[in-house]
Structure 1
Amino acid sequence: MKKLVLLLFIVNITICYSQKPSQQEDIKNTLKLFFKAIDKGDTLTIKNVVHKNFRGLTTYINSNGNTVIADEVSKKEFVNIIKTKNPNDSWIEKLTSYSIKIDGNLANVWTAYTFYVNKNITHCGSNSFQLVKIGNKWKIISVIDTRRRENCN
């Protein structure tokens, strides 16, 4: 009986842990698609990975030392930003770390990043993404990022 209980425990642990990496990989892949679409100016992919109620915000500390929260951007506004990007410009956001938390159909992803325009570092900071799982697809419902120009190795 003890062996059966131990076997069931091991199988249960294995099943639980084997599901987490696939969800985390799905979330990472959603973010990779998002950033690749930004660089390519691919509004169709943006529309597919971003939820209809998407909101984007930016916060930074200005030259006076005051915290600024930039205007909120809707999905439509974000798509228009990507649509008007110069196709000859390269916008690469390199994510340098991921911290992913999942609870059912809700995920939070914290990433550090460095942003490049035409191979030149323009700024860096952190992103906080919120994603919701609809069916079998993760959609980005919101993001807030920090921006700074110093210490962007």
Structure 2
Amino acid sequence: MKNFIIALLLLVNTAVFAQNSSAENTPEQMVKDFFEAFHRQDTLTLSEIAYPGAKMESVSKDADGNTKLSSNGYSEFLKSIASIPAEASFEEKLLGFRVEKNGLLATVTTPYSFYYNGNFSHCGVNSFQLVNFNGAWKIVHLIDTRTKEGCD
């Protein structure tokens, strides 16, 4: 009987751990982890969250009102995060999540407002593309919009 109880406890403990692990490895959680690491300037975690060679792009309007698309590799993003001065504060406030998952591919969309040193800077929408590699979601592409207009 004692062995049965021990085996039952181990089984329940393993099942709970497995549920927690799979719940943590969702596209939405990966995006949340991205922003937690981003705010901590944790480039190691940021690099683990993304697939090697991930792409980053931003869409904005220039001074003449023309649409501008800028592209960077993820490694340039990591360098820019590491170069933010320690005395600077920044926060990207996420205003929601929309998750679309189809097999090995997921899109997570998050509207946001960005603040630098406590002052509003811009707003927009992030669109993360994630791929499930052998049970682990990784960011492969991030594109965002940046504007100062229509930010409520």
Q: TM-score under structure 2 normalisation?
A: 0.79
What is the aligned partner in structure 2 of residue 16 from structure 1? none
CA contact (8 A) 2:90 2:116 kept: yes
* CA drift at 1:24: 9.3
Query: Identity percentage over the alignment?
Result: 36
Distance 2:35 2:88 in 1: 14
What is the aligned partner in structure 2 of residue 12 from structure 1? none
What is the aligned partner in structure 1 of residue 98 from structure 2? 99
- Summarize deviations over 1:27-57 as a string: whole Å, max 9, x none: 2221111112112110111011111021000
What is the aligned partner in structure 1 of residue 109 from structure 2? 110
* CA drift at 1:150: 2.2
Q: Against the structure 1 CA distance between its residues 125 and 55, is the aligned structure 2 distance closer, same or farther, given a 3 Å change threshold?
A: same
Distance 1:30 1:90 in 2: 23
- Listed as ranges, the matches of 1:2-151 within 5 Å are 26-70=26-70, 72-151=71-150
User: Which letter does structure 1 place at the counterpart of 2:95?
Assistant: T
* CA drift at 1:25: 7.4
Structure 1: 5+ residue stretches without partners? 1-21
CA contact (8 A) 2:54 2:139 kept: yes
* CA drift at 1:112: 0.8
* CA drift at 1:143: 0.8
Figure out how many residues of one structure are paired with residues of the other and give that number.
132
Structure 2: 5+ residue stretches without partners? 1-21
User: Which letter does structure 1 place at the counterpart of 2:46?
Assistant: I
Q: TM-score under structure 1 normalisation?
A: 0.78
CA contact (8 A) 1:24 1:100 kept: no
Q: Against the structure 1 CA distance between its residues 94 and 134, is the aligned structure 2 distance closer, same or farther, given a 3 Å change threshold?
A: same
Deviating beyond 4 angstroms after TM superposition, the runs of 4 or more aligned structure 1 residues are 22-25
Partner SS state of residue 97, structure 1: coil
RMSD of equivalent CA atoms: 2.0
User: Which letter does structure 2 place at the counterpart of 1:102?
Assistant: K
